[in-house]
Structure 1
Amino acid sequence: MFSGDVIATFNELETNLYDYICKNSEKVIYMRIRDLADETHVSTSTILRFCRKINCEGFSEFKVRLKLFLDNNEETTIKSSQYALSDFMERTLKGNLDSTIKEAASLIVKSDNLIFIGTGSSGILAEYGARYFSSLGKFSMYVKDPYIPIHANYLHNSTTIALSVSGENSFTISHLNQLKQKGSNIISITNNKHCTIARMADINISYYVTEEWYKKSNITTQIPVVFIIEETAREVQKLSQQKPYSDL
């Protein structure tokens, strides 16, 4: 309700008023303007000026908007991740996830370099993926800084694994575009195959779980992603051991 730009315009009295409202929102929506003035030790004119700064014509409109804001931010019930996990495992048994993982592993094992990219929680998993693959003998690196420049010349025989729940992250898309143009193969791990990042990839591995949000944070379970990363790494390790024999 209060943007950073608006908060920056508050004077000392208005900042104290803002602080009181944030700490007593449930109480303020039922107060009269005189009551709020007495509680915060400011004049009613200061309160009206405060309301106009946040585009409210008066205190009554401000209270209505504050109540709507509070109603939209009520606590939501967070389901156990076991439901999403059971759905994923059921689809895994019925679908072609295993064959897609093997296809991805075959591509990775032929590559000289392996790069993981992602931002947010996907960036954390990119770091985990790079470490897990490296632990199993396929040295990997990760990129989770959305602003890092990509100018390397060793990307021609490389594979990039892009992690994204929505598959629409603009920074990841921008990085993928650069990596693809430099010759890197693309494997994407996304929640569905009908997204931009999946369409950019040579191979897409989708896990299809219900997206969950808590307020403005995406809290969709990442358990399927960990499973896919680990299964792919194990398949790469197995293929790497077989490689000398297949070359005979």
Structure 2
Amino acid sequence: MGLYRKVRDAEGLTEREQEIRKFVLSYPEKLYEMSAKELGEATYSSAAAITRFCNKMDCKGYPDFKIRFLQDVQNENSDTETHLDMNNRESTASIMKKVAQSKIDIIQRTRTENSIDRISKASKMIHDADMLDFYTYNLNNHLAEYARHKFSIAGKFCNVYSEDSLQLRSTLFQQKNHLSILISQTGENKRIIELAKIKKKKGEKFLAITKPDSTIAKLADHTIYICGSDMQWMYIEEMWISRYSDSVKYLLDVLSNMEYMKNQEYCREMDCEYNRIGSEKFWTLTYDWKEHNDRDDTSEKEGN
């Protein structure tokens, strides 16, 4: 694990150390010209506190931390950012290539943002629940519907709460062995935060899919990190492409596939039964092609 992720994911920090972490993650470019004393003043701590923080991150003091951390930040940015510069002279082949590369890059970035342990813990929370309850607003609603479809194939059924009244009622009337999953692009949606606070007060565990170091991430029992929340839209003439949605869908695909594999034998049995009953009782009811063809044959004969 790189130093950037080590700082971001560090647990058991004091209040002062959390302030130091917040600062270095938010303003890494300022570290270039800051001494330990100046960083201490900026974070309402001291040079000694900065040194202790650096030692806790397995660095040999602040100078070693600054060099390694800034190099790691630079690597993060260069490895994961792709700029799509398009204009009305782009060929079809060029647009296809750039959009494909953009999706590859954001998926790769999302994968590296989340450790195996982080994803495994989220998967266990999902598997242990009898029902998943998704809480979303606006843009995120279609992501929750996407999740409902993916998890239903894995044998895990979901509720999607996108209306205010249903969100509040379902939160107040807590269901036994349901896992709430809160999806938020910024992690600062005021309504979702209020729901998270209520769940926290009631002692209900919940999973968040959101931005690291956000308010919702801090309230959640566990969080998996999304990417593209700060640079989620790339302008291509009059069209917008959502890197953020690609990031969330990748995470949902990973988690739903993990759930499917845990229930593989049962899911396959249900798939066979689903296809058998569907082909016999449901799909054939949509349109009777034999009757259609017989009717066409009769019309042709009458016309002749």
TM-score, with structure 1 as normaliser: 0.56
The alignment status of 1:197 with 2:216, answered yes or no, reads yes
Instruction: Please tell me the residue identity of whatever aligns with 2:185.
Output: V
After TM superposition, the structure 1 = structure 2 runs for residues 50-89 of structure 1, keeping only pairs within 5 Å, are 81-82=99-100, 84-89=102-107
Q: How many residues align?
A: 165
User: How much has 1:108 moved relative to structure 2?
Assistant: 1.1
1:75-102, Cα deviation, whole Å (9 max, x unpaired): x979965454233233345444443222
* DSSP 3-state at the match of 2:181: strand
C-alpha contact (below 8 Å) 1:157/1:183 kept by paired residues: no
- The corresponding residue for 2:138 is 120
Q: Which is worse superposed, 123-132 or 221-230?
A: 123-132
- The corresponding residue for 1:32 is none
* DSSP 3-state at the match of 1:166: coil
| Correspondence for 1:143 among 158, 161, 168 | 161
RMSD across aligned positions (CA): 3.2
C-alpha contact (below 8 Å) 1:115/1:158 kept by paired residues: yes
The structure in which a higher percent of residues are helix is 2
| Correspondence for 2:184 among 137, 158, 164 | 164
Instruction: Please tell me the residue identity of whatever aligns with 1:212.
Output: W
- Structure 1: give runs of 5+ residues left out of the alignment: 1-75, 244-248
* DSSP 3-state at the match of 1:236: helix
C-alpha contact (below 8 Å) 1:156/1:183 kept by paired residues: no
1:171-215, Cα deviation, whole Å (9 max, x unpaired): 21222223333443211111x21111111111111122223387x
C-alpha contact (below 8 Å) 2:233/2:242 kept by paired residues: yes
TM-score, with structure 2 as normaliser: 0.47
C-alpha contact (below 8 Å) 1:97/1:205 kept by paired residues: no
- The corresponding residue for 1:187 is 207
User: How much has 1:234 moved relative to structure 2?
Assistant: 1.3
C-alpha contact (below 8 Å) 2:154/2:263 kept by paired residues: no
* Separation (CA, whole Å) in 1 of partners of 2:140 and 2:123: 20
User: How much has 1:136 moved relative to structure 2?
Assistant: 1.4
Q: Which is worse superposed, 231-240 or 176-185?
A: 176-185
The alignment status of 1:206 with 2:225, answered yes or no, reads yes
* DSSP 3-state at the match of 1:178: helix
